[in-house]
Amino acid sequence: MAVFQMGSHTHAISMTLYRDNRMKVVNELQRAHNFGADSKPVILLQGGDNISHYDTDVDYVFRQESYFTYLFGVTEPGCYGTVEIKTGRATLYVPRLPEEYAVWMGPLLGLEDFKKKYEVDTVHYVDEISKRLSEVEPSVLLLLSGPNSDSGSVAKPAYFKGIESFVADSDILFPVIAECRVIKSPAEIEVLRYVARVSSDAHKAVMKAMKPGMHEYQAEAEFLRHSYAVGGCRHVSYTCICGAGTNSAILHYGHAGSPNDCAIQDGAMCLFDMGANYGGYAADITCSFPANGKFTADQRLVYNAVLAARDAVCGAAREGVSWVDMHLLANRVMLEELRKGQLLQGDVDEMMEAGLNAIFQPHGLGHFLGLDVHDVGGYLPGCPERSSKAGVNRLRTARTLKAGMYLTIEPGCYFIEPLLNKAYADPSLSKFLVKENLDRFRNFGGVRIEDDVLITQTGIENFTLVPRTVDEIEAWMAK
């Protein structure tokens, strides 16, 4: 049995995972479309290519395009793949590399080597694709083209020289294959369970290593080291966010202008959002904790407000529940805790109606997770549309939950200067703010708690295994 594995101590991903994905897509296409008894529709996908650093001859470390991974599990660049709808027959097309490449790249795989490695039915060279497809005589080539509702970018349809001689369709495939990715198979769930465990252990290693005076990037480096050295995860799923102090209120901190480069002060609140990637599958976990391992009263207040929101959603989420309702539940619980802590005053339902929830948590509750950290399927045709209401309009999906969906639950509470100033200046919001108490949080930063969870018929299964309560965090960091 062929597998992807980064050493005997890491998870083995069987190539049957991708075969099963192909059959799932084939079956759904046959169910959704009447192709006709004599038709021969064929899926055609183009994999990713090497990308160089601007005009240099140095490439970025290659990472395969996600839909191509989903159907084929191929790790090499420059490939194409076809799946015949009527039979499920899979063909891989690989680059024909000059023999001299072996000097620089080691032994080159032959066609039979690729066939065994990926357990497809046939393998040909890319320069033969037009000829070989002509032999198949497809009635239509189903190409991938559709918008990503998070980035706004459109999936690139496959192209090769001579494709103009074939009938092609760019509408049928996308909604079907994207929806197939939303519900995870048992084999995919085990990969996700593994990468969540590796990421959890890496977060725990960071918490153990943390000392005031460290730089944020040193925490990032410890996460990367553990994920790769112990878990075999060569990639992370997104740029690590390692904000301490006021930086913990910067939602996408760690970007090129602020590359996790600040020194961490004694007593600062750390918000570390990091997730490893294994075999293309992502984790996305956030841990928040004080740099010195001991919560102050104010840190405990804010942290427990966010934890209460997380706990409420974890207790309520299950098949048949609206994700919008889960977001509103988390916001309502957090605002109530802040009211109890005398940072807010008044009626929580009125706060929600006025949009105060979006001042303290301007992002959505969470998102789909899988081959992309913000995985596909949020706003496909036939799904609920994005709300225009403050806070809820940031949700990456408004769907009703189904068993097999895999999402993050990530409530947060942040003291973001522009948003606080906006709330103070707006009479409909300022009436809820206890200014004399809130002012001491101006330089607090923020707290986010993010777990990776599988939706079941009766609840959730939480794959994130890190200290979560104040007592658990203090005990772990004191060891």
Which residues on adjacent β-strands are paired with residue 84?
Answer: 42
Spot the catalytic one: 193, 367, 396, 468.
367
**Tokens 């942040």 correspond to what residue?**
414
Spot the catalytic one: 65, 273, 372, 451.
273
Write down the domain spans for the chain: 3-182, 186-478
- Residue 284 annotated to the active site: yes
Q: If residue 173 lies in a helix (H) or strand (E), which one and from where to where?
A: helix 173-182
Spot the catalytic one: 38, 55, 57, 164.
57
C-beta atoms surrounding 284 within 10 Å: 28
376-385 long-range contacts, Cβ below 8 Å, gap at least 24?
376/66, 376/148, 376/178, 376/181, 376/182, 377/178, 377/179, 377/181, 377/182, 378/149, 378/150, 379/149, 380/149, 380/175, 380/178, 380/179, 381/175, 384/324
Compute the distance between CA of residue 46 and CA of residue 93 in angstroms, rounded to an integer: 9
Reply yes or no on domain 186-478 having CATH 3.40.630.10.
no
DSSP for residue 374: S
C-beta atoms surrounding 20 within 10 Å: 15
Spot the catalytic one: 372, 410, 451, 452.
410
First vs last C-alpha separation in the chain = 43
Compute the distance between CA of residue 213 and CA of residue 292 in angstroms, rounded to an integer: 10
3-state helix, strand, coil in the chain (%, to 5): 40, 15, 45
| Strands of the sheet with 460-462, listed across from one edge | 406-409, 451-455, 460-462
Compute the distance between CA of residue 71 and CA of residue 75 in angstroms, rounded to an integer: 12
- Residue 450 annotated to the active site: yes
The predicted structure's pLDDT at residue 126? 98
Spot the catalytic one: 119, 188, 222, 284.
284
Give residue 121's region: left, alpha or beta (phi > 0; psi -120 to 50): alpha
Which residues on adjacent β-strands are paired with residue 243?
Answer: 271
Compute the distance between CA of residue 196 and CA of residue 198 in angstroms, rounded to an integer: 5
The predicted structure's pLDDT at residue 472? 98
Spot the catalytic one: 67, 93, 281, 414.
414
Asked if residue 420 lies in contact with residue 442, where contact means CB atoms within 8 angstroms, the answer is: yes
CA-based nearest residue to 325, from 364, 368, 359: 364
C-beta atoms surrounding 304 within 10 Å: 19
Backbone angles phi, psi at 376, to 5 degrees: -75, 165
Backbone angles phi, psi at 112, to 5 degrees: -65, -35
Compute the distance between CA of residue 373 and CA of residue 281 in angstroms, rounded to an integer: 8
Angle (nearest 5°) at CA 391 between 243 and 151: 70
- Residue 471 annotated to the active site: no
- Structure pTM? 0.97
- Residue 468 annotated to the active site: no
- Residue 414 annotated to the active site: yes
- Residue 410 annotated to the active site: yes
Compute the distance between CA of residue 18 and CA of residue 14 in angstroms, rounded to an integer: 8
**Tokens 């948003």 correspond to what residue?**
419
| CA atoms in the 13 A half-sphere facing the CB of 219 | 33
- Residue 372 annotated to the active site: no
Pick the CATH number of 3-182 from 3.40.50.300, 3.40.50.11930, 3.10.129.10, 3.40.350.10: 3.40.350.10
- Residue 215 annotated to the active site: no
Spot the catalytic one: 450, 451, 452, 468.
450
Compute the distance between CA of residue 380 and CA of residue 196 in angstroms, rounded to an integer: 26
- Residue 448 annotated to the active site: yes
- Residue 203 annotated to the active site: no
- Residue 363 annotated to the active site: yes
The predicted structure's pLDDT at residue 308? 98
- The DSSP annotation for 137-170 comes to --SEEEE---B-TTT--BPPPP--TTGGGS-EES
Helices then strands, each counted (H, E), the chain: 16, 19
pLDDT in tens, the chain (479 residues): 899 999 999 999 999 999 999 999 999 999 999 898 889 999 999 999 999 999 999 999 999 999 999 999 999 999 999 999 999 999 999 999 999 999 999 999 999 999 999 999 999 999 999 999 999 999 999 999 999 999 989 998 999 999 999 999 999 999 999 999 999 999 999 999 999 999 999 999 999 999 999 999 999 999 999 999 999 999 999 999 999 999 999 999 999 999 999 999 999 999 999 999 999 999 999 999 999 999 999 999 999 999 999 999 999 999 999 999 999 999 999 999 999 999 999 999 999 999 999 999 999 999 999 999 999 999 999 999 999 888 899 999 999 999 999 999 999 999 999 999 999 999 999 999 999 999 999 999 999 999 999 999 999 999 999 999 999 999 999 98
Name residue 75's amino acid: T
CB neighbour list of residue 335: distance below 8 Å, 6 or more residues apart: 344, 348, 351, 352, 356, 357, 360
The predicted structure's pLDDT at residue 390? 83
